[in-house]
A and B are shown apart, each in its own frame.
Chain A
Amino acid sequence: MKVREFMRKDLSSVETDTPISEVIYIMEHTELSSLPVVDDKARLAGVISERDLIRAALPSYFDMLQSTSVLPNIDQLAKALERMADHPASSYMTEAPVTVHPEDEDLQVAELFIRKRLKQIPVVDAAGHLVGIVRRIDLLDRLSQRGVRRT
């Protein structure tokens, strides 16, 4: 099964110059925890996630999560996010993210999901334009349907 057969043709994305306040707004409204970032030619430039934003706002947050004895100060996070509000998405995005192509096989994608511990991967065409997204759950769903058909 090829990626184009199970990808979501949803181009919900932000641009490199979209301010962080808008990135958060879009994540909240779309219920997506990470969004593709595109340049002014609609080519994929990166991916920005809730995790990227929290990490930038509170660099020690993920270290603190390892320890149950220290709780992060939520005011500190709020202040940092306020400072970041007008910064462009490009400042916090993950550049050169893992991508797949519409003609790639499901097995390659499954391997990427496992090896890179990703939940979703942007799909780009030969010119690097964003054409969709594959989510771990979509692949699981398609594979389970194939299993049902086989039994």
Chain B
Amino acid sequence: MILTVTPDPALDKTYWVDRLVPPAADHEEVPVLRARRSMREAGGKGINVAMFLARMGMDAVAMGFLAGHTGRMILRYVLEEGVTANFVWVAGENRTTVTVLQRGQEFAPLVIHEAGPQVPSGSTARFLKKYDQAAARAEYVVLGGRLPPGLAVDFYRDLAHTAKARGAKVVLHTGGAPLWKGMEAGPFLVKPDIRDPESLTALPAGTEDDILQAGRRAMELGVDMMLVSHHVTGDVLITPDSIWDLDARIQLSEFRNLMGADDALVGGILYRLAEGDELEAAVRFGMAAAVASSEAEEKLCRCREDIEREMARIEIHRRPLT
């Protein structure tokens, strides 16, 4: 079983429009964007990974905090995807993430994020008890996304310690201080959220030197692997002795929706590792899953055939880490 934790789940609302900025209107007229399609799904990094794994036929469990009507909708969508739901309920309302995709410019969407509900200490204690039981039955534990108000910055570090003590491998997919704190527990795989400017260094990240420096620091902390998105079609995987350059031969114009591609990448790697693949084959599958998800209008690709078709477009080069 693969256990995923999403402390701050979201209801993802996606709109497809012809033009993001409507033509200059009469000053008495309110500009209206007409969506030619819209969609609602459960979201948040851990939940996305769980939904991807369930589509691959794996036993995936989603944990986290749900609140209000939005929480009930998230729960419904999670269950519909075949994921086992094991959430703790708190007062308030879960966040909604809005994504507006413009025809022809799908690689640069408009995204609106909002804050999630406050998590009281009693609910955290309830969660930790459930988590302890679930982690004991997990092969991998995926900790993903930002922390909602009320959770301590070392929340992920403590969860990672518990999971490791229970014999599970930990995947950490977040940014900022919770990422660096979490790395102290020596997770198996780290995927920094590079949208967070403090993820890699205190400086704006992005150059290869930044990535390598962050990778070396992660290895020093006991992290087994660090996966970093370098540019839209390329990722870098750092292991204690190697740098792997992962590239997808794909044009920007082929992207239909980049949301969730990172989660398909993590999900794809875990799926193949759990099935017994070697790391290189698992990474290739993960990259192909990310590409297939980017090419689908929906957040995540629907089926394995789409992923297998993309496998040939993934290039992997390995060189020593010096």
> What is the interface of chain A, defined by CB distance below 8 A to chain B?
8-12, 15, 18, 22, 25-26, 29-31, 40-42, 131-132
The residues in B between 84 and 119 inclusive whose CB is less than 8 angstroms from any CB of A are: 84-87, 89-91
Chain B residues near A12: list those with CB within 8 A. 85-87, 89
With A9-B85, A11-B86, A12-B89 known, 18 other A-B pairs at CB within 8 A are A9-B79, A9-B83, A10-B75, A10-B84, A11-B85, A12-B86, A12-B87, A15-B129, A18-B126, A22-B122, A29-B66, A29-B67, A29-B89, A29-B90, A29-B91, A30-B89, A31-B72, A131-B84
Complex Cα distance A147/B157, Å? 51
Whether A42 pairs with B133 at a CB distance below 8 angstroms is yes
The residue on A at minimum CB distance from B122 is A22
Chain B residues near A15: list those with CB within 8 A. 129
B82 within 8 A of A: yes
Total of A-B residue pairs, C-beta within 8 Å: 38
The residue on A at minimum CB distance from B72 is A31
Complex Cα distance A15/B130, Å? 9
| Chief secondary structure at chain B's binding surface | mixed
Whether B84 pairs with A132 at a CB distance below 8 angstroms is yes
* Among B71, B72, B84, B89, contact of A11 (Cβ-Cβ < 8 Å): B84
Chain A residues near B126: list those with CB within 8 A. 18, 22
Chain B residues near A41: list those with CB within 8 A. 133
8 A-B interface contacts by CB (under 8 A): A10-B85, A11-B85, A12-B89, A22-B126, A29-B89, A29-B90, A30-B89, A41-B133
Chain A residues near B61: list those with CB within 8 A. 11
Chain B residues near A26: list those with CB within 8 A. 89
* Among B67, B82, B122, B134, contact of A9 (Cβ-Cβ < 8 Å): B82
Chain B residues near A40: list those with CB within 8 A. 133
Complex Cα distance A29/B91, Å? 8
